[in-house]
Amino acid sequence: MKQLHLISFNYPYPPSYGGIIDVYYKVMALSDLGIKIHLHCFVDQIPHKIDPEVKEMTENVFFYQKKKNPLLYFSGTPFAAAIRDSETLLKNLEKHKAPILFEGLQTTHIIRFLKDNRHQLYLRHHNNESEYYKGLSVSEKNPFKKIIYKIESVKYSGYQKKLLKKFEAVFCLSEKEYNEVQTYSENAHLIHIFHGNESVKELDTKGKYFLFHGDLTTADNKRALNETIDLFKTLPQYQLVVASDRASEDIKRKISTVENISLTPIQTTENLYRLLKDAHANILISYQNSGTKVKLFNTLYNSRFVIINGNITDDPVLTNLCLYGDDMSQIRQQIISSAGKDYHDTEKRKEVLEKNHSDKAKANEIGRIIFKN
């Protein structure tokens, strides 16, 4: 029987943002191959119950509360990793001799305490964390947070170079990260994002509005939204829907003052798909160069036009499926241009996405590498 410990930086349900989408659909795809998953989750608060969707695809689910000690900011270990530490996790890992897949470097603090040769270690490398926090520092307006992110970036720089060599394999999300890991340790494998989509949706040629969706607690998304709001102030003839469950009061107030922009919650995956289905075009902007964003796959599979800047993906094949703008003036022109077009790209997307980006193929590749078959 094939078994796998999977240590997640958060509870992967609902799969509503970034890396958690990758975790959830990876667990699903590996489980569909018959692999027994022992899921370990670091959380802010331990849930009262395990959702049936998660229970159905796992052998066990364990929760560990993240530490809340602010003094850990002064640790030499990156704060995001230092707060994810648990003696109970170590005991639970010893109950089953099986490979361990760490989801992101922030889950790897316990490696130093693992018994030698008891487990084979694997990493899902979600980001170059040093670059990620450097980008957050640039985007953040709060001076205190700006400094914290900068320090975290410096800490991760040494942490990841030292740690990446400890893994049997590092599964990278993008070409950029794959090339970086290869220079450190030569154990990289390029496994693109797990996204849960199986087939490209057949849609009418016209949608109803432009859509911006994402987690509005992150500095990168807040900056991207502010730029997009300012843009649509100059385009009052077009409707923009902002979809998020995490909008601050400042953002709500700003949106309420612009007549052609509205804010709506996402709440469920089904509601997100409905919003994507009715959108004529999606605005995807990032100021962080960290490979292909998960939300790109959701929009390409489930919506019409997708307008991006250069940091949404480093895959030229995926870029070719989108409308591209180097800066906000070019994004503005793509908005105007797409508004006057009918959408006819379904077959083109099917050829690229269903052939090269299926979750099943990616799970098979991970299983082959971990279980040597």
DSSP state letters, 285-319: --S---S--HHHHHHHHHSSEEEE-TTS---HHHH
Residue 243 has pLDDT above 80, yes or no: yes
Weakest-pLDDT range from 97-101, 157-161, 237-241: 157-161
**Could you tell me the residue ranges of all domains in the chain?**
3-196+358-371, 209-354
Q: How confident is the model at residue 116 (pLDDT cuts 50, 70, 90)?
A: low
* Whether the Cβ atoms of residue 363 and residue 33 lie closer than 8 Å to each other: yes
What pLDDT does 245 receive?
Answer: 86
pTM: 0.82
Residues 354-365: what's their mean pLDDT? 91
Please say whether the structural domain 3-196+358-371 has been given the CATH code 3.40.50.2000.
yes
Residues 338-355: what's their mean pLDDT? 94
What pLDDT does 174 receive?
Answer: 83
pLDDT tens-digit map of 17-75: 778 899 999 999 999 999 999 999 999 999 999 999 999 999 999 999 999 998 998 89
pLDDT tens-digit map of 128-151: 888 888 888 888 889 989 999 999
Nearest Cα residue to 240 out of 367, 357, 173, 335? 335
72 backbone φψ class: left, alpha, beta (φ>0; ψ -120 to 50): alpha
In 13-23, which positions are buried (b, 16+ CB within 10 angstroms) versus exposed (e)?
Answer: bbbbbbbbbbb
Q: Tell me the β-bridge partners of 101.
A: 6, 122
> Residue 342, class by beta-carbon neighbours within 10 Å (0-12 exposed, 13-18 middle, 19+ buried)?
exposed
Residue 109 has pLDDT above 70, yes or no: yes
Same fold, 3-196+358-371 and 209-354: yes
Residue 44 neighbours by CB distance under 10 Å? 10
Residue 115 has pLDDT above 70, yes or no: no
Q: Map tokens 């949404």 to a residue.
A: 312
Angle of CA points 152, 220, 18, to nearest 5°: 85
Nearest Cα residue to 149 out of 235, 215, 218, 98? 218
Mention the CATH class of domain 209-354. Answer: alpha beta
CA distance 165 to 184: 7
CA distance 247 to 228: 15
- 115 or 240: which carries more pLDDT confidence? 240
Nearest Cα residue to 8 out of 25, 246, 168? 25
pLDDT tens-digit map of 313-338: 988 999 999 999 999 999 999 999 99
What pLDDT does 249 receive?
Answer: 92
The mean of the pLDDT values for the chain is 93
Element (DSSP H or E) covering residue 221: helix 219-233
Residues 169-173: what's their mean pLDDT? 94
pLDDT tens-digit map of 249-292: 999 999 999 999 999 998 887 899 999 999 999 999 998 877 78
